Structure 1
Amino acid sequence: MDYLVETIILGVDSIIFITCIRNYYKKKNAMAMIQGAPYLNINKDLKEIVLTHPEQKLSYVSIRGTVKPLGKPIISNNNTDVEGVVQLLRIKEHVIQRSTTGFWNDSERVIQEVHNIMPFSLENKGIEIEIMDPLAAEILDMDVISDVFHPSVPSVMDHIWGFFAGIRQRGIQSTEKMLRKGTMITGIGELVYSKDGNVLQLQPPSSGAPFYLTNMQVTSLIKKLENSKKNYRWLCLLFGVVGIVIGGIMVRKYLKHRSRALQDAEIKRQLEESRRERRKKTRTTDFSDNQICVVCKTNPIEIILLPCGHVCLCEDCSVDIQDSCPVCRTVIGKKSVAYVV
C-alpha cells in the first residue's frame, strides 16, 4: 500500500509511453516506405510493367489519378448536385453529463454511422486502375457535404429529470462526407493485375504496410507524417521523463524504508542483547533439574506455553520457538512469563 499511488501513476504513464512509442515507429516506418515507393504514371505502359514483375504485382507503389465511378455514382442526401463514390453518414448525440466529481462536462457519442460505397477507379487519359476496399485506407480524404447541429429544446420536466439523472441532451449533429466524383487523389498501396477482370487494381498491401487514398501529394503526405512523428517523439520524451521521475521516487522511498528497517532491526538486536545480559546477571544458579530449560539445558524455565500449559523454556529460547511446544508438540497459541518458586 505504500507504493499504491506511485504504482498506479507509473502504470498509466507506461501504457501511454508504450502507445506513443508504437505510434512514433509506425509513422517513421510509414514515411520510410512511402519515400521508397516508386511513383508510377497511369498510362498504357503501366500494365506491362506490372506483368513483368513476379506474381504480377508491385508490393508498394504510389499513383495519382481522377476518381471515376464504375457505375451509377452516389448522389448526396443534402445536395443533389454532388455525386461521389464513397459516402459517410454519421449521427452524433451531444450531451452534458455530470461526472463523479460533480462537475458537468460536454460529451458525445455516435448513434449511427453508415458507409455507402460505389466501385470506382483512378483514371488518367483513359487508363483506369480499380480501387479495392477503400475503407481499409489509413487515410481516406473526403469532403464535408453537410454538417448540421440540431439543438434540443428541453421542457421543464426534462430539466428536472436531467438534474437527477445526471445527463442533459444538447442536441443531435448530422454529418455527411463524400469522396466526390472527379476528385484528384493519390493512392499508395499494392498494385496487382487481376486476370479475371483483365484490369489493374490498387489494394491494401498484403505485407501490412499502410494504405492511403488522399488528395495530398506524396510530399505533403510525408510532411504530415513527419509532423505527427515529431509530436509523438515529444510525447515519448515527456512521458519517459515522468516515468523516470516516478521510478526515482519509488526507489528513493524503498531505500529510505529499507534503511529505516535495518536501523530498527539493529536497535532491536542491541536491546535484545542488552536484555539477555541483564537476565544473566539477575538469574540464580541454585535450581533443580526439573527447572532447567529443555532446549538450552542452561537457563532456568521462565515461560509458560498456552494452551498446553508447559513451563519448559527460558526467555532466551522462547524467542526462537514459535510453532509448537517442544514437550508435547501442541501448537503454541500464547506465551506468558511464569514465576517458578
Structure 2
Amino acid sequence: MSIDADQIVERRRLRRKVTFWRTLGILAVVAAVAVGAATVAGRSIPVGSPHVARVMIGGLIRNDRERVEMLEEIGRSRARAVILSIDSPGGTVTGSEQLYDALRRLAAKKPVVAVVEGVAASGAYIAALGADHVIARRNALVGSVGVIYQFPNFTELLKTVGVTMEDIKSSPLKASPNPYTPTTPEARAAVDSLVKDSYAWFRGLVGERRKLSDPLLATVSDGRVFTGHQGLELQLVDELGDERTARAWLAREKGVPEDLKVRTWRSGQVGDEFGWLLGAARGVVSALGFPQAAAFLTQAAHGALERTQLDGLLALWHPRVDG
C-alpha cells in the first residue's frame, strides 16, 4: 500500500520541527552550562570574604559606566588587592580616560597591579598606567602612545556618479570635516589641534606615571608598540612575568598572602566570551532549514557589533596593512 505524497511531506516537516526544537534545547543547555561555569568560576568566593580581585580588560575600550561602578564596588569590598588582566588594542580616548580615573581612585584604597597578557596598546596602556605596578609577558605588546582621528571621504566616489553634496552652514568649520566635500586646510587644522591636545595629555601621563626622562619619553611616544622585553628596558613596564609574578609582588611589597583566593569580577554587561556559541547556533539553525530564525540570530549579532562601534578621537592600535 503506497503512502500519499502529502503524508510524506508532512512527516518530513514534522521531523524537521522536532529536530529544530531538540537542537535549540541542546544549545540552550550548553549556553546555560557555559554561563554557569563562568559564574561559578568568578563568583565562587563570597563577596564578604578576603580575596584578590581579578578584573579583565579586553576588547575595545569605550565609556562603560557599569565597569566604573564595579570598580567602585571592589573598592568597598574585602578584596585585599586587584589584578588587572589586560589584552586590548585600546579604544576611545574618553573611555580610556574614564577607566584610568576609576583605577586611580581604586588604587587609593587597594594595591593594583596590571598584567599584560597579550596587548596593552594605546588606550589599554592608559589603563595599565592606572596600576601601581605593570607586569608584561616577554612577548606581549605595550605602548602605541598616540591619538588618531579617522574619517572617510567620499568626494571622488560622488564625482564618478555625478552627485554633489551641498550644505548651508552658520560658520565655515561647522560639521567639519565633511565626508562628502574636500577637507579644507582650516578643517584639517582644527582636527589636528584636537589630536595634538589629546596626545599631549596622553604623553604627559606616560611621562608622569613612568617617571621618564625627556629623551626616553620621546622614544616611547612616537606611536610604536614594543614587546614586553623592550618595554622593560624603556621603563614602560616594571617586570616580565604573568599573574604568578603579580601575586609574588603583592606578597613582597604589599603583604597580600599568595595563598589568598582570586575572584574574577565582571560587570553586568554581556561580553563576547560566548560569541562562538551564537555563531554555532546560527549555523545549525540555518542548516536545519529555518532561515528566519538564523536571520534573527544574525540580527542579534549585528546589534552587538554596533554597540562596539567607535567614533571620535581614538587611542587605538591597529597594524597597518599595505597592498
TMscore range, shorter length? under 0.3
How high is the TM-score relative to the length of structure 1? Answer: 0.19
Report which of the two structures shows the higher radius of gyration computed on alpha carbons. Answer: 1
